[in-house]
Amino acid sequence: MQIYYNNLHDITKIRNFSIIAHIDHGKSTLADRIIEFCKAVHDKQMQDQILDSMDIERERGITIKSQTVRLNYKAQDGQNYVLNLMDTPGHIDFAYEVSRCLSACDGSLLLVDTTQGVEAQTLANVYKAIDANHEIIPVLNKTDLPSSDINGTKAQIEEVIGLDTSNAVLTSGKTGAGVDNLLESIIKYIPAPSGNVEGQTKVLLVDAWYDQYLGVVMLISVREGVLKLRDKIKMLHNGSVHEVEKLGFFMPKRNEVNEIKAGEVGYMCANIRLVADCLVGDTIVLEKDTTTKPLPGFKKVQPVVFCGLYPSEPSGYVEMKTAVEKLALNDSSISYEVESSAALGFGLRCGFLGLLHMEIVQERLEREYDADLVTTAPSVVYKMYLNDGTVTEISNPATYPDPVLIREIEEPLAKVSIFTPGDYLGDIMKLCTDKRGSQIDLNYSSGNQRVMLVYKIPLAEIVLDFHDKLKSISKGYASFEWEIAEYVKSDVVKVSILLNGDSVDALSIITHRSRAEQRGRALCAKLRELIPRQMFAVPIQAAIGAKIIARETISAMRKDVTAKCYGGDISRKRKLLDKQKAGKKRMKMLGSVEVPQSAFLAVLKISDD
């Protein structure tokens, strides 16, 4: 049964809005208070982070997947309104989720923590909202804390972002203070959706995920007309035709309806088995419609960090591949292809939106599918211009071409915006310079207390340990966001790791020539600690082409073969020692070195220090 107030559909009484903010500024907590205030969930069923459905989201206290909820609200003017709330992630790796949500909304709540002020992702997300032509309401959160600086935060918003804060709402996600004023501001300032129930049906596909019972579930925003059960629909990107089997709203539990009208956000099932068949950002129309043009969609997601995933035991490859395929049904931003390694056997080369995204996917594979994984060092995409005129993109050291064939190499540069208290400015500038960065801009705000730095830094330097070092230097107060700016010519080389003379491609890395010797030495030293001793000496070497740039040796285990020789001629002992030496030489020729999983993880932890 469809739920409307007075059984009427009045598009002027609908508000579609999202909550955007920097990570940890309290989006999910404020969403909980709004849901409580609208009494969408019974008190006994209410829990913290109610819109975060995954265990990993609750444990880490972060939002990974955007969630939507439809709320009924009776305003102070006595009118009944329908509020469609979208809670978005704050971390930079999930910015694509944010852009998808904003496309389905008409306004945004810009949430700013009054104890932290404007931070990097605050700025990045508000620009996305401005690009989507949103009406933006500044919301100052955590006003109940003693360290809250309301006036300073308002000044920052006006100075750094350029937003008027005269209509800013003061709230506390923890206590629920100000939620009533916030809901009235949403009614007053955020416009109703544009659309006509009488028009030709036009639907935007906002998101899609796989449900083991329903198949693919699609989050949709109906822009024009009405979508009804049993309608024959057509996907404009591939022309495929399906029949609508289920329609509904998240309130926040699924609530099935017979139709969804213009201006509303809901979900749809149409007996589709593969998420790949549902292009996020696609336009859905009725089968008989031949005139409707596609709605403006989203740009296709581009992975920026790649790594190899291998099972710890070669026999576990099939199970691991099945697990990745299942996970990819729920996360269309993962890309993967089969690769093989002499050391690790068959595995998958996977692409991710960032290091946190990579870490989350790995943890979900281990937790939800019991996969036991070995992860190779992360790498970015390099452009190789070969002597024969061809251009190829390389993200895997194993596919790095012969240096003789390469004319030039380009690496991606990221434009990095860093917000920091002025006390840490010198150390952060040194960090950026050490990471081969070049400064573009430096601005002070809010009485010279906070600084915004803009640098161009190679992406390969950011994905290694930049975030950890930035947080360490600034005691956690600095924040940053980045976007790929351009590709530039660079002197990049492949550092190969040889164990007992054999190259181990899974341990090889691609790095700038100025860093090559440093990282080669650090990696050899780390592997010497981690690889167990053998009955023969094992040389560990780092090489660029045929040139060895670093070496460590794991000494052989020594058995005292002369222990039973009491007295007697020295030649007897010498004969036993020579025999042992010849045996070790033969063993070294035939022996293979087992590399523990911790050795592959060591590549991730190699620092520039």
> 209 and 217 in contact (C-beta within 8 Å)?
yes
249: enclosing H helix or E strand: strand 246-250
d(CA 54, CA 290): 40
Q: Residue ranges of the alpha helices (H) in 109-196?
A: 120-131, 150-156, 179-189
Two structure tokens written together for 425: 């400015």
> Which is nearest to 99 in space by CA: 311, 272, 280?
280
Q: Which residues are within 8 A (CB) of 463 and not within 5 positions of it... i.e. 6 or more apart?
A: 304, 305, 354, 355, 378, 380
Phi, psi (degrees; rounded to nearest 5) at 407: -85, -50
Q: Which two tokens stand for residue 149?
A: 């600086």
CA triplet 479, 480, 486: central angle to 5 degrees? 175
| Residues contacting residue 374 through CB under 8 Å, at least 6 positions apart | 309, 310, 311, 312, 344, 347, 506, 597, 600, 601
Omega cis (within 30) before 252: yes
Annotated binding residue 28? yes
The beta strand positions in 2-145, using DSSP E, are 14-21, 67-74, 80-87, 107-113, 135-141
Q: Could you give the angle at which helices 317-330 and 355-368 cross, rounded to 10 degrees?
A: 120
Angstrom distance (rounded) from CA 70 to CA 104:
13
> Are the CB atoms for 196 and 224 separated by under 8 Å?
yes
Q: Give the separation between CA 121 and CA 125, rounded to whole angstroms.
A: 6
**CB half-sphere exposure, 2, CA atoms < 13 A:** 18
Structure tokens at 234: 């057509």
Report how far Cα 371 is from the mean position of its chain's Cα atoms: 20
**Chain length of the chain:** 609
The residue to which tokens 């190969």 are assigned? 496
Q: According to the 3-state scheme, what is the secondary structure of 498-565?
A: EECCEECHHHCEEEEHHHHHHHHHHHHHHHHHHCCCCCCCEEEEEEECCEEEEEEEECCCCCCCCCCC
Taking the CB of residue 578, how many other CB atoms lie within 10 A of it?
10
Residue 237 assigned as binding residue: no
The torsion region of residue 246 among left (phi > 0), alpha (psi -120 to 50) and beta comes to beta
For 283, phi then psi, to 5°, come to: -105, 135
Residue ranges of E strands in 318-368: 335-341, 345-352
Separation of alpha carbons 258 and 266, rounded Å: 12
The CA distance from 134 to 109, in Å, is 10
CA 361 to mean position of chain CA atoms: 9
Is 24 within any annotated ligand binding site? Answer: yes
Residue 26 is labelled as binding a ligand: yes
- Residue numbering of the annotated binding site: 24-29
- Residue numbering of the annotated binding site for GTP: 24-29
